[in-house]
Amino acid sequence: MDLPASQQPSSILVENESGVACDTASLAAIASFLMIRLGLHPSCELGITLVDVARMSDLHLEWMDEPGPTDVLSFPMDELREPGPGEAPPEGILGDIVLCPEYVHEQATAKGRVLDEELQFLVTHGILHLLGYDHATTPEYDAMFALQDALLEEWAAS
Q: Give one word for 95, left, alpha or beta, with left for phi > 0 and alpha for psi -120 to 50.
A: left
Helices and strands: H and E segment counts in the chain: 5, 4
Average pLDDT over residues 70-86: 92
Q: Within its chain, how far is the Cα of 23 from the centroid?
A: 14
Q: Share the mean pLDDT of the chain.
A: 92
CA 65, 69, 70, 76: dihedral to nearest 10 degrees?
A: 60
Q: Which CATH superfamily is domain 5-157 in?
A: Metalloproteases ("zincins"), catalytic domain (3.40.390.30)
- What is the greatest pairwise CA distance in the chain? 45
Beta-carbon neighbour count of residue 59 at 10 Å?
A: 18
Instruction: Give per-residue pLDDT as tens, 81-99.
Output: 988 888 888 889 999 999 9
Read off the pLDDT band of 76 (50, 70, 90).
very high
Angle at 149 between CA 138 and CA 95, to 5 degrees: 85
Report pTM. Answer: 0.91
pLDDT at 10: 61
Please say whether the beta carbons of 155 and 33 come within 8 A: yes
pLDDT at 84: 87
Average pLDDT over residues 128-157: 96
Average pLDDT over residues 137-141: 96
pLDDT at 89: 87
pLDDT at 9: 54
Instruction: Give per-residue pLDDT as tens, 3-43.
Output: 444 445 568 999 999 999 999 999 999 999 999 999 998 88
Average pLDDT over residues 89-117: 94
End-to-end, the C-alpha distance of the chain in Å comes to 7
